[in-house]
Amino acid sequence: MEDIDREADAEDLGGARRERSLHKVVHLLEIGRFEAAEHEVRALLAEAPEDPSLLALLARIEVDQGHSEDGLATALEALARDAQDVEALHVAADASAALGRNTEAERHFLEALALDPVDAGLLFGYANLMFKTGKLDKAERLAQRVLALSPESAGAHQLASLVAARRREGREARSRGQQGLARAPDESVSHLVQGHACLASGRPFAARRHLRAAVSADPANQTVREAFEEADRACRVVYLPAYYLSLVFDRVPGSNFILWGVFLVMMFVMERAGVPENVAMPIVLAYVGLCIYSWVAEPIVKLWVKILPPR
Amino acid sequence: MCPGSTSDDAARRASREIWDAPASDVDLFAPSLDERDDSEGFGTAFDPRSLWFACFFGGPVAATILFALNARRLGQPKQVVPLALGFLAVTFATLTVGTYVAMTGAGADATADASLGRNVRMGTRIVGLALGGVGYFLQRRRFELYLGEGREPAKALLPCIGVIVLSALVSLVWVSVAAVFFVVA
C-alpha cells in the first residue's frame, strides 16, 4: 500500500514538473528564446521519447527557427506514433509548405481539418497555402471561414486584402487592409499589407506612409524595407508617370509589350494610309519617346534614389 | 468550459456550418493542388513576358530555345522535350514554307520580290510571336508560383540578344539547306 502511495506521489510530482516545464517552454517561445525552448523540450523528450505531443512541439520550434527539413522529420515521427495528432499534422503542413512541397502540405492540412474543422489556425494556414499557389477564390473563401470563427483575426483580413490586391480590386484591398490594421495597429505586417494595397491601387504616397510605419515597427525586416523603397520610387516625380502606366498595362494581356505592339501597328497603318510626314513624324516621335521612357524610367529612378535617398 | 458557453456555441455553429455546407462549399475541403503546384526544382527563371517580346525579333527558333530553357529553370524538366519538339516542328515547317514561297514567288520584278521577302520575314515573326504566346500561357502559372516564393526573375536582356543572334544563324542555315533542296528538286 505504501509502495502504491509512493508511486502515485512520484507520478503526481512528475506530472507537475512536466506542466511547469511546458509553461516554461511557452514563455520562452513568447519571448523568442527558441533555442532555450528547444533545450527544455528535448529534456522532456529524454524522459518520454514516444510522446507525440512533445515531438509535435519540438517540430513546431524547429520550423519556427527556419529548420523546415528537421521540423518535417520530427513531425512525421510524431505522426508515426499518433496519426491523428492535429498539431503534428499542422506542423507537417507548415514545414512542407516552407519546403515548397505544396501538394504534401495540402494533404496534411486536409487531414488535420477532417479531424478539427473549426481550428481557425488550420484554416488560416490552408488559406495561405492556397494564396501562395494562386488559388485566389479558395483562399478568399477560406479567409471568410476564419473570420466566421474568429472575427477579430487580423491575419484573415490581411489575407483577404492581399487576394483583392492580386485581383486588382483596389477599393476592396484597401478596405480589408484597413480592417487588419485596426485590429493590429502596431504590427509591421498590417502596415505592409495596407501599403501593398495602396501601391496596387494607384495611391503611392499613402503606400509610402504605411510602409514607412512598417519599417519603423520592424527595421530589421528586409522584405519591409524593399517594399518601402519600391513605394518611395513610385512617388518620385521622374517615375510617377511610369508607375501609373504600369498600373494600366498590368491589367492588359501582354503588359508593356502592348505599348511596343501598338507602336508597330501604328507605323504600319500610317504607312498604308499615306499619312503626311509632317503629321506622322511628331506622332511617331512622341510615341517613341513614351516607349523609351517606359523602358528607362526604372533605371533612372534607381539612380535618382542613390543620389537622393528616401527619408 | 461550461456547456452552452458562448465560444462552445460558436464552435458548434461553425462546425455545423462547415459540415452542413451546401454542395458548392464541399470543394473547399477537396484537394486543389497537383505536382505542377510544387515549388521544388526552381532555378533562376526568366519572365515569360520578356521571352515573348524576344520571340518577335528572334522568330520561332528563338521561341523554341528560350521557352525550352525556361521550362527547365521553372522546374519542369518533363516539359522540356515535348515543348522543344512541338516548337521545332512548327519552326521548321514555317522556315521551309517561307523559303518555298519566297523562291516560287521570285520573278523579274525587284519591287515585288522585295515586298514578298518582307512579307515572308513578317510572317516568320508572327509565327514566332504566336509560339511565344503559347509558351507564355504554358508557363504563366508556374512563373506566378515562382514569384509567390519570393524569387526574382533573371535578367533576360543579354540572353535574349544572344538567342536572337543564334536564331538568325540557325534560320539562315536551315533556309539555305531548304533552298538548295528546292533547287535540286
**pLDDT value at B13 more than 60:** no
Of A106, A113, A118, the CB nearest to B32: A106
**pLDDT value at A87 more than 90:** yes
Angle at the Cα of A245 (from B62 to A207), degrees rounded to 5? 120
| A246 at interface of B, judged by CB pairs closer than 8 A | no
Residues B104-126: pLDDT tens digits?
A: 775 555 566 667 777 778 888 88
Residue A96 near residue A104, CB atoms below 8 Å: yes
The verdict on pTM exceeding 0.80 is: no
**Grid coordinates of A224:** 519591409
Q: Report which of A294, A223, A303, A216 is spatially closest to residue A257, judged by C-alpha positions.
A: A294
Alpha carbon separation from A308 to A208, A234, A247, A302, A311 (Å, rounded): 16, 14, 25, 10, 9
> B34: helix, coil or strand?
coil
A103·B38 Cβ contact <8 A: yes
More confident residue, B16 or B76: B76
- The C-alpha atoms of residue A188 and residue A234 are separated, in whole angstroms, by 21
Residues B57-98: pLDDT tens digits?
A: 888 999 999 999 999 999 888 889 999 999 999 998 988 888
Residues A225-263: pLDDT tens digits?
A: 999 999 999 999 999 999 998 888 777 766 656 777 777
- The C-alpha atoms of residue B133 and residue A280 are separated, in whole angstroms, by 30
Residues A116-152: pLDDT tens digits?
A: 999 999 999 999 999 999 899 999 999 999 999 999 9
Query: Which chain A residue has the Cα nearest residue B10?
Result: A149
* Interface mutation vs chain A, best among B8, B25, B33, B125, most A CBs within 10 Å: B33
- Could you tell me what percent of chain B has a pLDDT over 90? 27
More confident residue, B30 or B26: B30
Partners of A223 on chain B (C-beta within 8 Å) are 150
- The C-alpha atoms of residue A60 and residue A62 are separated, in whole angstroms, by 5
Lowest mean pLDDT among A16-20, A158-162, A194-198, A201-205: A16-20
**pLDDT value at B24 more than 70:** no
Name the average pLDDT for chain A: 89
Query: Minimal Cα–Cα distance from A66 to chain B, Å?
Result: 15
Strands (E) in chain A, as ranges, are: none
**Grid coordinates of B94:** 514555317
| A110 at interface of B, judged by CB pairs closer than 8 A | yes
**pLDDT value at B18 more than 60:** no
